[in-house]
Amino acid sequence: MRSTRKYAAATIAAAAALALAACSSSSSGSSSGSGGGHGTKGPVTLTWWNNATANPLKGVYLSVISAFHASHPNVNITDVPIQNEQFTTKMPLALQSNNPPDIFQQWGGGQEATQIKSGKLENLTSMASSLISQLGPAAAGWQVNGQQYGIPYDLHMVGFWYRKDLFAKAGIKSPPATLPQLNADVVKLKAAGIAPIAVGSKDRWPDAFYWDYFAVRECSIATLKTAVKAVSANYPCFTKAGNDLKAFMATKPFQVGFLGTPAQVGAGSSAGLVTNGKAAMELQGDWDPAVMSALTSNKKFVNEIGWFPFPAVPGAAGSPSALLGGGDGFSCTTTAPEPACVDFLSYLDSASVQEKLVSTADVGLPANPAASSALTLPAEKQILQLSQQASYVQNYFDIAYPTNVGQALDNAVADYFAGQGTPQGIVTAIDQAASQQ
């Protein structure tokens, strides 16, 4: 599953088990206390919590570990693959313990800011200054108050993936550039007997992409930045975004039974519906082609799909070229032996490793622009170009806001998709969660 930015709730029993696991992940080269592992000389071991639980990414990571050890014989790395859904429960417990992992999966934004409060995240600003400079704007999403607490290894952008053949069958000559054009295409696809848009609402998180993007279109860039910094959605444009969502859903653009459809697992998932030609498009991240390719034996499938950004909303204050996105990265904890931890993160972002992550593991857009030539799909190259030209890239709101606020947002939007609540109720849920921090 390529949606490395999303998570599911865990039970209290699972949390207890994870707490025990967290307490057993100490580093042989580190000591307790802030920065206790710094300056360690001699053999050290880094524990690396990542979400590569399956190939091809798992295999690439193992080869990266081997190559890094060959050039850094005093640094051993223990690979600890963890299911995506466990990170939101496991990391808070680990950061409360005396032995957190040395390196762990990091999505930046408000989640990272929440984790910083533990006092266990290493400030990488000085130690990784050359790497941060090399990555350029890509590193900004992992900064808090101008300080670098995480390093990205890939980037993601969200947009509509669509079947070119189904668009042609419905008489659609080009992807929609505006919301009225999208609404008109929904009508054309229905008339052709095609489900216009697939959405995996069973998993709930895909629903948030719609509210997020309407907010990006309705709110000015200045308001988006202010809202995230203030941890609030109490601005008129966010209510407008909810009203846009309400009007859009009134057109009934989704497949029958979308509330019970998973996002990425199996032929009946929203990704599977597009893959198998039962739906024309899906609003998803740039990981979607990899997910779809695993659901079909048609090796030419990736040539049959295209991509377009979320349409502009006429009269809205938001920039039509702004995008919604995020990415994956890693943080070092304060007990990690340095410079070993930063050296490893720098190696992950080296051009050769980045090229392998893109070409072999299909992680998305490389964080290091020097590896962009590894992208092969025309749609991926289009996404990269648009991301570089974008007036602004808004981090997914459930990541940009602190953890509990982001979860409240996702829940409120999913409930609205299920017919519960109001557009204003989404805004209220966000601000109520913010008041409880």
Q: What is the residue extent of each domain of the chain?
A: 12-155+326-379, 157-324+396-435
AA identity, residue 134: Q
CATH (one of 3.40.50.300, 3.40.50.410, 3.60.15.10, 3.40.190.10) for 12-155+326-379? 3.40.190.10
Quick one: pLDDT at residue 295?
86
Quick one: pLDDT at residue 264?
83
- In the predicted model, what is the mean pLDDT of residues 108-124? 92
Q: Is the pLDDT of residue 17 over 60?
A: no
15 or 101, greater pLDDT: 101
Average pLDDT, the chain: 87
- In the predicted model, what is the mean pLDDT of residues 283-288? 91
- In the predicted model, what is the mean pLDDT of residues 147-176? 95
The CATH fold of domain 157-324+396-435: D-Maltodextrin-Binding Protein; domain 2 (3.40.190)
- In the predicted model, what is the mean pLDDT of residues 92-97? 93
290 or 415, greater pLDDT: 415
- In the predicted model, what is the mean pLDDT of residues 84-105? 89
329 contacts 151 by C-beta, under 8 angstroms: yes
Quick one: pLDDT at residue 40?
52
Quick one: pLDDT at residue 167?
97
Q: Is the pLDDT of residue 58 over 70?
A: yes
- Distances from the Cα of 383 to the Cα of 144, 158, 224, 287, 325, angstroms: 26, 9, 22, 12, 11
213 contacts 221 by C-beta, under 8 angstroms: no
CA 252, 255, 261, 264 torsion-angle sign: negative
Q: Is the pLDDT of residue 292 over 90?
A: no
Quick one: pLDDT at residue 362?
83
- In the predicted model, what is the mean pLDDT of residues 417-427? 93
Quick one: pLDDT at residue 230?
93
Quick one: pLDDT at residue 41?
64
Q: Is the pLDDT of residue 223 over 80?
A: yes
Q: Is the pLDDT of residue 25 over 70?
A: no
CA 185, 186, 188, 193 torsion-angle sign: positive
Q: What percentage of residues in the chain have a pLDDT greater than 70?
A: 90
- In the predicted model, what is the mean pLDDT of residues 99-103? 95
- In the predicted model, what is the mean pLDDT of residues 127-144? 90
Question: Residue 114: which of 402, 306, 384 has the closest Cα?
Answer: 402
- In the predicted model, what is the mean pLDDT of residues 191-203? 95
Q: Is the pLDDT of residue 309 over 90?
A: yes
| Same fold yes or no, 12-155+326-379 and 157-324+396-435 | yes
Lowest mean pLDDT across 40-44, 218-222, 255-259, 374-378: 40-44
Residue 298: pLDDT band (50, 70, 90) is confident
Residue 394: pLDDT band (50, 70, 90) is very high
Distance CA 235, CA 159 (A): 25
Question: Residue 267: which of 241, 237, 291, 238 has the closest Cα?
Answer: 291
